[in-house]
Amino acid sequence: MKLNAEKMVERFIRYATFDTQSDASNSACPSTDGQRVFAAHLAEELNDIGLADVMIDENGYITATLEATPGEETRPVIGFISHLDTSPDIAGAPVKPRLVKNYPGGDIILSQALNIILSPQEFPELTSYTGQDLLVTDGQTLLGADDKAGICAIVSAAEHLLQHPEIPHGKIRLGFTPDEEIARSADRFDVAAFGADFAYTVDGGALGGIEYENFNAATAEVTIQGRIVHPGSAKGKMINALTIAAEWQQFLPAGQRPEYTSGHEGFFHVNKLSGSVEHATMNILVRDHDRKSFEQRKALLESMAQLFNQRYGAGTISLKCHDSYYNMREKIESVMEIIDLASEAMRAVGIEPIFEPIRGGTDGARLSFMGLPCPNLFTGGHNFHGKYEFLPVPSLQKAGETVIEIIARVRKA
């Protein structure tokens, strides 16, 4: 079983040209009209290839069904999920993907005029793809492999199974969600209506990745109330909120920042600071794979708030902390057979699985805690959310073939 690379490239390029950046400043769902336009196009395509029960709800969520082949109705129902939106971190339109045929190695000039170069000196993983076809940007936008490569892999796999009814399989549910990049895509996902026994997001990176553990995540907002006094007569009177903000950051463990951590190591990340002498606010991302350590990190912030209020006066520091998502491993450990299934499928199509913790979160993390066990599979892409993004075509092929192999290997219940 081998998917048609040329057709997958054509499909991906078509998807990539839709402007689907999400917008955190808009509370609507989906947060941008472009996602709704792409959703309508995708739903039409799903109908055209022969999927059943294709639906778009009022929030832009798409679901569809690949019916079980005759006699296989008792197999567990599997879901495959990807997101419609692309990151707002960099320009997302007009995306002009370019296919580099038989990449010879060395630099790839993305934009001659702007001197933007994709180089193995900065991105040494490029050398692993010498001789392969690569999809790249024109150096002015992202590519959108996160997650249009995932959509492409899922749709291509479904189409292949529809065209090859001799491959037995159970009922398959497909789901495509808006606003994942702004952490909202699980908010209105109807797990009960989706009706899968377990699922996979196809939203990972390099070839072979299987991810079933991620950060526990919280966001803390620190509000600092200072006291403004004319600097000429400020001695003993002024309380500078900006100075306190700097002191607060220095109190955080010095080596526990994103730039100093990797693997399972957690961190504190001050990602936003604004204000004046009288009033300042600071946002802090709290991350840790271990739940006990995660709770200790939040407790440290509470202790710091008490200390600063003792030092500078009651009401100087106000701390609000809310949890965003938790490590899906808590929910996946009891159903590790779905990880074994994906591993076996990858090996069957010639890939050695790679198990690495996600230093972030996925839809799958929240869906797992909503009752749908949902690890994450690779798409093949690299350098997401930026102009140096690239997608090796053979890796995209393997993503689709892995989906097919997982579907074919699920045993009857």
Which of the residues are catalytic?
85, 180
| Separation between Cα atoms, residue 398 and residue 150, nearest integer Å | 11
Distance in angstroms (rounded) separating the CA atoms of residues 382 and 298: 32
CB contact burial 179-194 (16+ within 10 A = b; e otherwise): bbbbbbbbeebebeeb
CA angle 169, 196, 41 (to 5 degrees): 85
The residues pairing with 98 across neighbouring beta strands, listed in sequence order, are 136
- Strands 390-392 and 134-136, sheet pairing: antiparallel
Three-state DSSP class for 157?
helix
> Is residue 322 helix, strand or coil?
strand
Can you name the residues that pair with 269 across neighbouring β-strands?
285
Q: HSE, CB side, 13 Å, CA atoms: give it for residue 354.
A: 12
Structure tokens at 100: 């580099």
246 vs 137: CA distance, rounded Å: 39
Q: CA-CA distance, 9 to 17, in Å (whole number)?
A: 12
HEC string of 268-321 equals: EEEEEEEECCCEEEEEEEEEECCHHHHHHHHHHHHHHHHHHHHHHCCCCEEEEE
